[in-house]
Chains A and B, each alone.
Chain A
Amino acid sequence: MTDQNNKHDTHSPLNAAVQHPIVRLSDVCKTYEQGKVRVNAVHDVSLDIQHGDFAALCGPSGSGKTSLLNLIGGLDVSSSGTVIVDGIDLATIDGSELSEVRKNRIGFVFQSYNLIPVMTAYENAAFVLNLQGVDETECRDRVMATLKAVGLEGLEKRRPDEMSGGQQQRVAIARAIVTEPAIVLADEPTANVDSHTAESLLDLMEQLNRQQGVTFLFSTHDQHVMDRARRIIQMHDGKVASDHAQAG
């Protein structure tokens, strides 16, 4: 695996402009075969995600949002086209290298049931750092700082079933950002919480984006959530229907 992008450089706002985009999709297709029916879940998508983006992937149900996020996140492989994440062409690497890319360069937040039930908030947030083999003290410092940043100070010892849905999503966000990934991919992160909680989660994501430079790409079909994004990528039938910036 090539590692031409030193993490700190990618994360430094000064260098962002001269770096490659964090994600570059060129003519990406994903076709599912269901019996005799072929579904073009993602159809000829080309787009770049730049460092510092706070982008929403929008579109009706079945338009290909999850499929696209899975391709970018290295959870699935494209049928054709290239997916380059943090300088790595995902088509050229094998399964265990994909696993490494996910561990080291991507943060994931899912719609629900993100956390491991037998682990505390602290342990969940530290999960990926442990997989990376980060030593105890450094791990502790980073996790505590991150939990504080996502507003969970004092709740470190709570298990998922002792936390609200919003708190659980905050733990998931903490787990995603504590490794300082190139990008955080969030598939409908607010779909399972009430609108008030959704607002505060977006506040948090926005704050992490502005203050710590975390790049976010999240999917949604909620208009309120869309309104908060600074870039809207609209999908329809697997294609990008529109892609434009908006005031955050």
Chain B
Amino acid sequence: MNLNRLAWRNLWRRKRRTMITGFSVAFGVMLAVTFTGAGDYFYTRMIDAGASMGMGHVTIEAVDYHRAPSLKKRLQHVESLREKALQLPQVSDVMTRITGQAMFASASKSVGGMFIAVDPAQENSENNLFIRSIIEGSMLSSPEGRNIIVGSKLAQKLHLRMGKKVVYTTTDVHGEIVSAIARVSGIFETGISEVDGAMAMLPIHSVQKVLGYQVDEATLLGIILKDQRFSKSMRDKLAAMPLYSKAEVLSWQQSQPELAGMIAVDKSSNYISQLLIGLLVAAGILNTMLMSVLERTREFGVMMAVGMAPGALFRLIMLESFWLAVIGLIAGIIITIPWYIYMANTGIDLSGAYGDDFNFAGVLLDPVMKIRLFQESIVAILLGLFTLALAAGAYPAWRAGRIPPVESLKTI
């Protein structure tokens, strides 16, 4: 009889214990999938939401703009820059935008804020938080014209309603103060008060005229990637292209350092949870294998007395841990699949517990907790738990072969 079959049979000597340990491994898989999946989903949502606030996953902007924003600094030939970026395989969309500070004034009041000037033909609600947050009126229909879409709190402060006039004042390409008049054609509400109280969206060609920009000049190109995880490599790739040598290329981590910092902190606490899950699984296997080794001292003594080498005994116990881990992982996959499908599609609605204002580092969140695993996370979980299980089996296996048979034969 080979070692493998012997190991398998030994595992079923104590069915209950094996099943309980197997289940704890399975439960570990489920927990690890939930934690990792929640992280993978949550961070992606966060990053995508952050990207839709204007900068994209990767930003191409005028040199030094983000360190000292000024409307004097601008990108040139944005149309050709945009065309080239759109051709890259990882890029899903590129939007040309002008952003800057402005004073907004109504008949009754004036308030300082920010504007983002866009070309409606390039925008969609997926890539633009303000469009998908419109609660009154509608999105700009043209890059020309005098329409403006304002945040709900800004509208409140200025006592604005649909159709009312606003004057926005800013500095132009030469640093001169300029102003223009616009008419409220929409109101958005993102749920983030700093944004709703300060932001307005304007048609890009009108703003270019006001600022004295050429038609192919803008502040930045916001690049939306098919997968946010490639933002850093994409940044490096773009930065290395001669075409963008007169521009600055930023990943979302650079353009939104606050969000990046929060995610890093959250990730590290997630890693700690993962580590605890791993330790739990390893402790279960260690305990089971150690008990099972200790209660078989006599048996191992007989086996070694009749000529089994300690190394073979070590392999036997390792094989038992191996099969225990395999059983646990398979059971884990079986119980996790339906849970994963549910959590990936339906999720758990947390709005009851936390209220509607779900705001993380200034980025609005969907109050439904869902999970989504990256492929490499699946591999990491299964491989990680498997390795831990084998590592936990190593000590009992080593113990088993170490007691000299003269000693172990004395026990019963």
Contact = CB atoms under 8 A, between A and B. Distances in A.
Interface stretch (A6-14, A112-120, A202-210): A112-120
Interface in B3-57: 6, 9-10, 13
Q: Give chain A's interface secondary structure class.
A: helix
A73 B409 CA distance: 13
A159 to B, nearest CB: 10
Contacts of A112: 412
B1 A119 contact: yes
A126 interface: yes
Contacts of A118: 6, 9-10, 13
A39 to B, nearest CB: 14
A126 B302 contact: no
B306 A126 contact: no
B177 to A, nearest CB: 90
A113 B406 CA distance: 15
A70 B406 contact: yes
A140 interface: no
A54 B309 CA distance: 29
B303 interface: yes
Contacts of A126: 1
Contact of B305 (A100, A104, A108, A132): A108
A25 to B, nearest CB: 17
B306 A128 contact: yes
B355 interface: no
Interface in A82-111: 96, 99-100, 102-104, 108, 110
Contact of B306 (A70, A108, A123): A108
B190 to A, nearest CB: 65
Given A70-B406, A75-B305, A117 B13 contact: yes
B1 A102 contact: no
B412 A113 contact: yes
B13 A116 contact: no
Contacts of B405: 75
A126 B302 CA distance: 14
A104 B409 CA distance: 20
B304 A99 contact: yes
B338 interface: no
B298 interface: yes
Nearest to B305: A108
Interface string B389-412: 000000000000000111001001
Contacts of A116: 6, 299, 302-303
Interface string A46-70: 0000000000000000000000001
B7 to A, nearest CB: 10
A131 interface: yes
Nearest to A71: B406
A130 interface: yes
B406 A75 contact: yes
A76 interface: yes
Interface in A176-213: 176
A99 B299 contact: no
11 contacts: A73-B305, A75-B305, A102-B307, A108-B302, A108-B305, A112-B412, A118-B6, A118-B10, A126-B1, A127-B1, A131-B308
Given A75-B405, A116-B303, A130-B2, 11 more contacts: A75-B404, A75-B406, A99-B307, A99-B310, A102-B306, A102-B307, A103-B308, A104-B307, A108-B302, A116-B6, A132-B307
